[in-house]
Amino acid sequence: MKVLPTAIEGVVILEPEVFGDARGYFFESYSQRKFDEQVRSVRFVQDNESHSRYGVLRGLHFQKGRYAQSKLVRVVRGRVLDVAVDIRRGSPTFGRHVSVELSGDNKRQFFIPRGFAHGFAVLSDEATFQYKCDNPYAPESEGAIAWDDPTLGIDWHLLPGDVVLSPKDSHHRGWRRPGSCSTIIRITMLNILITGANGQLGRSLQRLGCVSPHNYICTDVAELDITDAGAVLRAVREQGIDVIVNCAAYTDVERAEEDEPTAELLNHKAAGNLAAAAKATGATLFHVSTDYVFDGTAHTPYTEDGTPSPLGAYGRTKLAGERAVMASGCRYLIFRTAWLYSEYGNNFLKTMLRLTSERDTLQVVFDQIGTPTYAGDLALALFSIIESERYAGNEGVYHFTDEGVCSWYDFATEIAAAAGHDKCRIIPCHTSEFPTKAARPAYSVLDKTKIKTTFQMDIPHWREPMIYCLKQLAE
Active-site option among 314, 341, 391, 409: 314
Going through 78-133 in order, the beta strands assigned E by DSSP cover: 79-86, 97-103, 109-112, 116-122, 126-133
49-66 core/surface letters (b: 16 or more CB in 10 A; e: else): eeebebbbbbbbbbbbbb
Sign of CA dihedral 315, 319, 325, 331: positive
Q: Find the angle CA(439)-CA(445)-CA(448) to the nearest 5 degrees.
A: 140
Say how far apart CA 272 and CA 325 lie, in whole Å: 6
Say how far apart CA 59 and CA 317 lie, in whole Å: 48
Is 195 in contact with 277 (CB distance < 8 Å)? no
Say how far apart CA 2 and CA 72 lie, in whole Å: 15
CA distances from 231 to 113, 324, 418 (A): 16, 18, 46
Around Cβ 41, how many Cβ atoms within 10 Å?
9
Task: State the DSSP H helix or E strand holding residue 20, giving kind and residue range, or none if neither.
Answer: strand 18-21
Is 338 in contact with 371 (CB distance < 8 Å)? yes
Single out the residue of 90, 88, 86, 89 nearest to residue 118, CA to CA.
Answer: 86
Single-letter code of the amino acid located at 258: E
Is 112 in contact with 67 (CB distance < 8 Å)? no
Is 331 in contact with 287 (CB distance < 8 Å)? no
**What is the DSSP code string of 370-407?**
E--EEHHHHHHHHHHHHHHTTTTT--EEEE---B--EE
User: Sheet holding 116-122: strands in order across?
Assistant: 97-103, 79-86, 116-122, 57-63, 142-144
250 in active site: no
- For residue 25, what are the β-bridge partners? 20
**Which residues carry out catalysis?**
314
